[in-house]
């Protein structure tokens, strides 16, 4: 079975993901070019026309800083076969709106086990309703995280606030937010950091301290890891 046959088998999968407006689905070949995309990705990056994405690489679709990050991920999966699992990332949506998602990528193999591409999804992160099952028992812990995310909070202490073991707390946070408690803390910090970068002219050093990072270097490192670009580049992008 050749690579094109492997890709054609995913037509049904693509159709299923077309029905999910908060999930991006894609398959790329070994050169990082899109061979299948769902409607959500087309709506966000190609005016709703899937054909405009087929054959293109991230650099032809996304802002340069983000494209480099996505392409680097693809190359690592294609080279090693190791998956990217629930990676918290910043995405830029239509009209330059920023939002967070969790990305998972896997190597796509043919019937002989050879890597012929990479397939993945990126799921938008939306805060759960306060009526969601399990939310009430986390309310006190979440309030603590929101009020004190700039401090060196320990997951053990946060779990205690909710009257839960660490394991129980982690499981409930994962189910409600699709991320770990540590990822949630990072997201709270980074949400505020992106707001400050967008709405103020404060220095990166000041933003780092205000959002709980020990210094500008740590802030830049974590922001770059999740956003795919340095804070300064994000600020410049928002002004374009």
pLDDT in tens, 74-104: 999 999 999 998 888 877 666 656 678 889 9
CATH 2.160.10.10 fits 135-238, yes or no: no
pLDDT value, residue 3: 56
Residue whose structure tokens are 């053990």: 156
Residues of the chain with CATH 1.10.10.60: 135-238
Say yes or no to pLDDT of 202 above 80.
yes
Q: Count CB neighbours of 178 within 10 A.
A: 18
How far apart, in Å, do the first and last CA atoms of the chain sit?
A: 46
pLDDT value, residue 97: 67
CATH of domain 3-124: 3.30.450.20
pLDDT in tens, 143-181: 888 889 888 889 999 999 889 999 999 998 988 888 899
Phi, psi of 88 (to 5 degrees): -75, 125
Q: Count CB neighbours of 15 within 10 A.
A: 11
Say yes or no to pLDDT of 47 above 60.
yes
Query: Three-class SS string for 75-102?
Result: HHHHHHCCCEEEEEEEEECHHHCEEEEE
Mean pLDDT of the chain: 87
Residues of the chain with CATH 3.30.450.20: 3-124
């Amino acid at each position: 079975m050749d690579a094109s046959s492997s890709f054609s088998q995913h037509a049904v999968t693509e159709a299923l993901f077309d029905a999910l407006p908060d999930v991006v689905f894609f398959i790329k070949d070994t050169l990082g070019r899109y061979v299948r995309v769902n409607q959500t990705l087309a709506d966000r990056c190609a005016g709703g026309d899937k054909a405009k994405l087929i054959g293109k690489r991230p650099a032809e679709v996304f802002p340069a800083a983000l494209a480099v990050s996505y392409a680097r991920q693809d190359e690592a999966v294609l080279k090693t076969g190791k998956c990217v699992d629930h990676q918290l990332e910043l995405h830029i949506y239509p009209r330059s709106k920023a939002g967070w998602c969790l990305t998972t990528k896997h190597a796509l193999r043919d019937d002989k086990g050879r890597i012929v591409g990479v397939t993945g999804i990126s799921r938008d992160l939306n805060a759960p309703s306060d009526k969601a099952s399990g939310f009430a028992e986390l309310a006190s812990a979440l309030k603590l995280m929101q009020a004190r995310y700039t401090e060196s909070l320990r997951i053990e202490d946060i779990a205690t606030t909710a009257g839960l073991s660490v394991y129980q707390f982690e499981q409930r946070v994962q189910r409600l937010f699709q991320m770990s408690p540590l990822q949630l803390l990072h997201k709270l910090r980074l949400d505020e950091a992106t707001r400050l970068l967008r709405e103020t002219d404060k220095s990166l050093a000041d933003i780092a301290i205000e959002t709980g990072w020990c210094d500008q270097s740590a802030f830049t490192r974590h922001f770059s890891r999740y956003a795919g670009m340095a804070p300064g580049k994000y600020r410049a992008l928002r002004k374009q």
